Amino acid sequence: MYKVLLIDDDKTARYILKRFNWKAYGFTIAGEASDGKEALQMLTNDSFDLVITDIKMPGMDGIEFSNELKWANVDICLIFLSTHSDFKYAKQAIRLGVFDYITKPVDDAVLCEVLERVRLHLARKESSRIKIQEEHRLIEESLAVHYPVNKEKEIMTYILAGNAAAMVVAEETVNELAEMLGRDTLKLEQLLAIILANFNQVIAKHFPWLPNFENTVYQDKIERSNSLAVVKASFLTCVASRIKVIRKYELHHTDSVISRTCQYVMEHIEESNTLEVIANEVLLHKDYLSKMFKQKTGLNLNDYVTKAKMEHAKQLLGMGKYKNYEISERLGYSSPDYFCRLFKKYTRQTPLEYKKRLGLCQVP
């Protein structure tokens, strides 16, 4: 039986839904919640296959709940319940990747049809998961002796140094593996995916706060294709993106002062981060630190702080639950208007335009 979590602040609506013959379609009601916040807590303690949630609720509504799942990278089948008057929210749900939406009051025939599709979707998903696990097992068994440990370490060293030489070694590695595997692109793709996952683990260990700025760096994947050129290009793109992130935040510097300065800024991004505060933390006079940072990185320290804050602001805006004044306060700015001007200057978009581009609010 697939487990279902119902979310609705209306107890009567939940009661009516529970009376439906779920078992006849391979489902069982395994949990109930009155809003998104309560549901998130339940999801931390239990697993569900399908979540059916009302769109408009007091507290955390369905849209906010969906954004939280997306932010946390939770892969779960989600269906929205909405009235006809909430259709604009239903369209937003589609943009967020929700499986489907059903209008209230729920018609049994409609629910039957939707559940049939959900069951087929979940079955395919499980079949795909099992297939991938088996592929990984076979690859690990057949390639363990040939795994390019030294090449992987060399590429990773170059990535952490922000050195483009990583691209040269990465291309050499792909070519050697392709020859060794008889140009089997499926095995090559799976092996490169393992290497990429190992890269992500090393980066996460060195910079545990990086997802606050660049959560997508861990989400790109090796493209599956029958073409060796496509698989190779995909892997090289992933390597290049990691080099870009390292250099973007000046994380490649070996100078201890620069390293400690960048780390402090990133770890305390939601604080004021004035030049005086940072200088005190790294035990240097502010004028000397400012001059040294400029010489080593080519950036003014204040500009670096602003860049880091704007990147964090993009992440907060992408969550879809914070207003501009709330983000401004979190970043240590006293004026929301000043924050919006900084964001527009940095991204060439207002916060609202940025959210519209992400599909997080209605486009007029």
* Model confidence band, residue 85 (pLDDT cutoffs 50, 70, 90): low
Which of 39-43, 169-173, 222-226, 351-355 tops mean pLDDT? 169-173
To the nearest 10 degrees (0 to 180), the angle between helices 301-319 and 256-267 is 30
Which segment of 34-38, 107-111, 128-132, 294-298 scores lowest on mean pLDDT? Answer: 128-132
Query: Does residue 53 contact residue 69 with C-beta atoms inside 8 Å?
Result: no
Long-range contacts of 162-165 (CB under 8 A, 24+ apart): 162/243, 162/246, 162/247, 162/251, 162/252, 163/243, 163/252, 164/243
Query: Does residue 35 contact residue 9 with C-beta atoms inside 8 Å?
Result: yes
Could you give the angle at the alpha carbon of 80 between the alpha carbons of 218 and 53, nearest 5°?
90
For the chain, give me the number of helices (H) and strands (E)?
17, 5
Which segment of 9-18, 182-191, 228-237, 320-329 scores lowest on mean pLDDT? Answer: 182-191
Mean pLDDT of 88-113: 76
pLDDT of residue 52: 92
Mean pLDDT of 204-220: 77
CA distance 355 to 141: 45
pLDDT of residue 96: 64
CA distance 174 to 115: 43
* pLDDT per residue as tens digits for the range 125-143: 888 888 878 877 766 666 6
Mean pLDDT of 294-320: 90
pLDDT of residue 92: 63
* Domain 256-357 superfamily per CATH: Homeodomain-like (1.10.10.60)
Mean pLDDT of 211-229: 78
Which segment of 154-158, 172-176, 193-197, 220-224 scores lowest on mean pLDDT? Answer: 220-224
DSSP state of 321: -
Q: Taking 80 as the threshold, does the pLDDT of residue 55 lie above it?
A: yes
pLDDT of residue 161: 93
Q: Taking 90 as the threshold, does the pLDDT of residue 175 lie above it?
A: yes
Mean pLDDT of 86-90: 61
Query: Does residue 55 contact residue 31 with C-beta atoms inside 8 Å?
Result: no
Record the pTM. Answer: 0.58
Mean pLDDT of 146-150: 80
* pLDDT per residue as tens digits for the range 233-290: 999 999 999 999 999 889 998 888 898 899 889 888 888 778 888 888 888 898 998 8
- More confident: 212 or 261: 261
Name the fold adopted by 2-130: Rossmann fold (3.40.50)
Q: Taking 50 as the threshold, does the pLDDT of residue 183 lie above it?
A: yes
- More confident: 336 or 181: 336
Element (H, E) at 261: helix 256-267
